[in-house]
Amino acid sequence: MITCKIDVTKIEKERLFKGEKGTYLDIVLIETTNNQYGDDYMIVQSVSKEESAQGVRGKILGNARIVKPKSQTGQSATQELATTKHNIEPDNDLPF
Protein backbone atom coordinates (compact mmCIF):
# COMPACT_ATOMS: atom_id res chain seq x y z
CA MET A 1 0.00 0.00 0.00
CA ILE A 2 1.17 3.52 -0.72
CA THR A 3 -0.11 6.39 1.43
CA CYS A 4 -0.08 9.94 0.06
CA LYS A 5 -0.41 13.41 1.49
CA ILE A 6 -0.89 16.45 -0.71
CA ASP A 7 -1.32 20.12 0.00
CA VAL A 8 -4.48 20.88 -1.97
CA THR A 9 -3.85 24.62 -1.74
CA LYS A 10 -0.88 24.14 -4.10
CA ILE A 11 -2.99 22.60 -6.91
CA GLU A 12 -2.99 24.84 -9.97
CA LYS A 13 -6.73 25.04 -10.74
CA GLU A 14 -6.10 25.34 -14.50
CA ARG A 15 -4.66 21.79 -14.41
CA LEU A 16 -7.98 20.34 -13.23
CA PHE A 17 -10.12 18.82 -15.97
CA LYS A 18 -13.67 17.50 -16.25
CA GLY A 19 -14.08 13.81 -16.81
CA GLU A 20 -17.10 11.60 -17.26
CA LYS A 21 -17.53 11.01 -13.52
CA GLY A 22 -15.90 14.02 -11.89
CA THR A 23 -13.12 16.58 -11.88
CA TYR A 24 -9.59 15.17 -12.12
CA LEU A 25 -5.95 16.14 -11.72
CA ASP A 26 -3.09 14.19 -13.26
CA ILE A 27 -0.20 13.65 -10.87
CA VAL A 28 3.14 11.88 -11.02
CA LEU A 29 4.94 9.99 -8.26
CA ILE A 30 8.70 10.51 -8.50
CA GLU A 31 10.79 8.05 -6.53
CA THR A 32 13.04 9.72 -3.97
CA THR A 33 16.12 8.28 -2.32
CA ASN A 34 17.49 9.10 1.11
CA ASN A 35 14.56 11.35 1.96
CA GLN A 36 15.09 12.84 5.43
CA TYR A 37 11.42 12.29 6.33
CA GLY A 38 11.27 8.63 5.26
CA ASP A 39 9.09 9.28 2.22
CA ASP A 40 9.53 7.11 -0.86
CA TYR A 41 7.96 9.40 -3.47
CA MET A 42 7.42 13.06 -4.26
CA ILE A 43 4.00 13.95 -5.73
CA VAL A 44 3.99 16.54 -8.52
CA GLN A 45 1.38 17.85 -10.94
CA SER A 46 1.69 16.49 -14.45
CA VAL A 47 2.72 18.83 -17.25
CA SER A 48 2.18 18.39 -20.98
CA LYS A 49 4.91 17.03 -23.26
CA GLU A 50 5.35 20.50 -24.75
CA GLU A 51 5.76 22.09 -21.32
CA SER A 52 8.20 19.40 -20.28
CA ALA A 53 10.26 20.02 -23.44
CA GLN A 54 10.40 23.72 -22.48
CA GLY A 55 11.73 22.82 -19.04
CA VAL A 56 8.49 23.42 -17.15
CA ARG A 57 8.27 21.28 -14.03
CA GLY A 58 5.11 20.28 -12.22
CA LYS A 59 4.46 21.90 -8.89
CA ILE A 60 5.31 19.72 -5.87
CA LEU A 61 2.09 18.84 -4.07
CA GLY A 62 3.25 16.42 -1.40
CA ASN A 63 4.85 13.09 -0.62
CA ALA A 64 4.03 9.39 -0.54
CA ARG A 65 5.38 6.44 1.35
CA ILE A 66 5.14 2.69 0.98
CA VAL A 67 3.44 1.13 3.99
CA LYS A 68 3.87 -2.57 4.57
CA PRO A 69 0.75 -4.16 6.08
CA LYS A 70 1.02 -5.62 9.58
CA SER A 71 0.15 -9.25 10.16
CA GLN A 72 -1.92 -10.53 13.07
CA THR A 73 1.29 -10.85 15.12
CA GLY A 74 1.99 -7.14 14.70
CA GLN A 75 4.99 -7.73 12.44
CA SER A 76 5.11 -6.56 8.87
CA ALA A 77 4.68 -9.30 6.27
CA THR A 78 8.40 -9.06 5.44
CA GLN A 79 9.44 -9.43 9.09
CA GLU A 80 7.09 -12.38 9.56
CA LEU A 81 8.54 -14.22 6.56
CA ALA A 82 12.06 -13.64 7.83
CA THR A 83 11.27 -15.08 11.26
CA THR A 84 9.03 -18.00 10.22
CA LYS A 85 10.62 -21.43 10.05
CA HIS A 86 9.46 -23.56 7.14
CA ASN A 87 9.29 -27.29 7.87
CA ILE A 88 9.31 -29.01 4.50
CA GLU A 89 8.50 -32.69 4.50
CA PRO A 90 10.42 -34.76 1.94
CA ASP A 91 8.24 -35.99 -0.90
CA ASN A 92 8.67 -39.76 -1.13
CA ASP A 93 7.30 -39.81 -4.69
CA LEU A 94 10.31 -37.96 -6.10
CA PRO A 95 12.71 -40.11 -8.14
CA PHE A 96 15.80 -38.73 -6.38
pTM exceeding the 0.95 threshold for the entire prediction:
no
Q: Tens digit of pLDDT per residue, the chain (96 long)?
A: 999 999 999 999 999 999 999 999 999 999 998 778 889 999 999 999 999 999 999 999 999 999 988 766 665 554 444 444 444 444 455 443
- Name the residue type at position 81: L
* pLDDT confidence of residue 68: 87
Q: Where are the alpha helices (DSSP H) in 1-96?
A: 49-53, 77-83
The H-or-E segment that residue 59 falls in is none
C-alpha span between 63 and 77 (Å, rounded) = 23
Please check whether residue 26 is in contact with residue 15, taking contact to mean a CB–CB distance below 8 angstroms. yes
